[in-house]
Amino acid sequence: MKTRGVKVSVIMPAYNAEASIDQAIRSVLRQKKVPFELLIGDDASTDGTWERIQNYLSDSRIRAFCFRRNQGAALTGNWLIAEARGKYLSSCDADDVMLPGNLFVLSRILDRHPSVGVAYGDLFVTPLRGGLKIKRRFMPEKSWDLLGGCFANGGTLIRRSVMRKAGGYRPQFKFLEDCDLFLRLSELTRFYHHSGKPLYRQRQSPGSLSDQPLKKHRETSQILLRDAIQRRYGCNIRW
């Protein structure tokens, strides 16, 4: 499949993901019925991540970039978005799996609903202690519950024009940068929840969002809420 006429650009920032990135890449390459490209950014990994990525560069759908300095997920994601050619943007974390039908189902939703800027489905979650459970994702009014509910960045489809208007990820947030993005997206466009078979599998691994200290969750969540209140209502909140 050539990248000319790409409909969806899938971005995959990666850092020290040699143990999982093969599975992540293959899950994207197995997507069908939609012309897509996969953009991978190795964020100065110190393990064998780049060597694993190079095994797939013969596939014309893949473009990969290796950064000399670690810059974090937000900047790496923005860099890949700037390189994207697709009308729609998706993401697959280097330790997650995009399930069959993800790109086809969600791109069809955006095709059919021009006023919708973000489409997403439910997901499987593999907890730190093993097992598998289904998480129902939803988009509440004004999206406040994005900070306390289940709304993963991975596997969500976004119009590139809306992402550009939102300004992408804000690099000052090294943590919960995806929640910050979706809070801002919810102020710009409608969201569509596809209920049915999960379309993404999220792995909760050491160092991931689920493995962060509760104090860090609270501190960053307060900053995000304060910023959202100021944007939406013009109120300066201090706490």
Residue 201 lies in a domain: yes
Nearest to 220 by CA among 167, 185, 178: 178
CA nearest neighbour of 35 among 10, 64, 65, 70: 10
Distance CA 124, CA 103 (A): 16
- State yes or no: pLDDT of 95 exceeds 90: yes
Residue 235 in domain: no
CATH number at residue 113: 3.90.550.10
115 exposure class (CB count in 10 Å sphere: 0-12, 13-18, 19+): exposed
Inside any domain, residue 213: yes
As to burial, measured by CB atoms within 10 angstroms (0-12 exposed, 13-18 middle, 19+ buried), residue 46 is exposed
Asked whether residue 3 is domain-assigned, the answer is no
The pLDDT confidence band at residue 174, using thresholds 50, 70 and 90, is confident
36/161 Cα distance (integer angstroms): 17
* pTM, entire model: 0.88
Q: 35: domain range?
A: 8-230
84, part of any domain: yes
State the total domains in the chain. Answer: 1
* Strand-strand pairing, 200-203 and 97-98: antiparallel
Arithmetic mean of pLDDT over the chain: 87
Residue 168 lies in a domain: yes
- Residues 214, 42, 26, 107: is their CA dihedral positive or negative? positive
Do the bridges between strand 36-42 and strand 8-14 make them parallel or antiparallel, or are there none, so unpaired? Answer: parallel
**Short-list 88, 120, 122, 100, CA closest to 11:** 88
39 bridge partner residues:
11, 63
Q: How confident is the model at residue 173 (pLDDT cuts 50, 70, 90)?
A: confident
pLDDT level of residue 2 (50, 70, 90 thresholds):
very low
Residue 236 lies in a domain: no
User: Is residue 27, in this structure, part of any structural domain at all?
Assistant: yes
- Contact between 195 and 122 (Cβ < 8 Å): yes
What pLDDT, in 10s, does the model give residues 32-44?
999 999 999 999 9
- Percent with pLDDT over 90 in the chain: 61
